[in-house]
Amino acid sequence: MGCYPSKQVKTPGYEEPTVLAAETPFTVSEVEALYELFKKLSSSIIDDGLIHKEEFQLALFKNRNKRNLFADRIFDLFDVKRNGVIEFGEFVRSLGIFHPNAPVEDKIAFAFRLYDLRHTGFIEREELKEMVLALLHESDLILSDDVIEQIVDKTFSDADTKGDGKIDQEEWKAFVLKHPSLIKNMTLPYLKDITIVFPSFVLSSEVEDSE
Amino acid sequence: TAPVTMNAFELISTSQGLNLSSLFEK
């Protein structure tokens, strides 16, 4: 192995894999593999070791200019420091929530924050409607205003069990436990195979072989 | 399925913007 990889210059925001592995469901070698993925994503447009929103959009949609409400929300939640970029530590800690072994409570809480568009601590009816409209727009689906109102009303009356016009975290948790498919997208099976998809030793081995 | 029986959260969870699996495509 040698010590070549540890001598490489790490980018700002880089954190040691042992630290990140201790705080997340990932092993050290999985964090190292995630660093390979991170390097790829963070250098796709601006090679500065940070994931910018356009790079995130490019990875998700193969289009750097495609705006999407939900991708924006994910980006904002990953960008814990709120400085407009995703650093490596933020990337790993946030993806940890999507690990198949991460606690369900963490996934439920993350989804709540995702849908609490205006950071009020509640999912409000207007927010739910805004998200439904965004999804319909994204999918080129057309529904009449009446039907949209009915969908939102029905869902809201099912989830807002206290009937106060907003969904709190407790109501959200009960609603998700009743409808587990709502957080299906909070689990990425890929994360269990990340060391196979992005083996972290390939590049440095190649460099050593060529020397 | 009639639209009124759709769960709005189920609907929005299908957004491509929430499907992070595309990050892993080589």
Query: Each residue of B1-26: pLDDT tens digit?
Result: 455 678 999 999 999 999 999 998 87
Rounded Cα distance between A48 and A27, Å, is: 26
Interval A43-79: pLDDT, tens: 999 999 999 999 999 999 999 999 999 999 999 999 9
Whether A160 has a pLDDT exceeding 50, the answer reads yes
**For residue A1, what pLDDT is reported?**
47
Letter for the amino acid at A99?
A: H
**A68·B17 Cβ contact <8 A:** yes
Interval A80-119: pLDDT, tens: 999 999 999 999 999 999 999 999 999 999 999 999 999 9
- Rg, C-alpha atoms of chain A: 20
**For residue B22, what pLDDT is reported?**
92
All residues of chain B having their beta carbon less than 8 Å from the beta carbon of residue A115 are: 9, 12
Residue owning tokens 């954190």:
A15
The more confident residue out of A9 and A151 is A151
Put simply, whether A150 touches B (Cβ < 8 Å) is yes
Put simply, whether A202 touches B (Cβ < 8 Å) is no
Q: Which of B8, B10, B16 sits opposite A138 (nearest CB)?
A: B16
Phi, psi of A90 (to 5 degrees): -65, -40
The answer to whether residues A194 and A33 touch, using CB atoms and an 8 Å cutoff, is yes
The more confident residue out of A10 and A176 is A176
**For residue B3, what pLDDT is reported?**
54
**For residue A201, what pLDDT is reported?**
60
Buried b (16+ CB within 10 A) or exposed e, A123-136: bbbebbbbbbbbbb
Closest CA of chain B from A8, distance in Å: 23
**For residue A11, what pLDDT is reported?**
74
Rounded Cα distance between A206 and A100, Å, is: 32
The overall average pLDDT reported for chain A is 90
Put simply, whether A59 touches B (Cβ < 8 Å) is yes
Phi, psi of A49 (to 5 degrees): 70, 20
Rounded Cα distance between A180 and A176, Å, is: 5
Rounded Cα distance between A118 and A25, Å, is: 29
**B15·A74 Cβ contact <8 A:** no
**For residue A10, what pLDDT is reported?**
64
**For residue B2, what pLDDT is reported?**
53
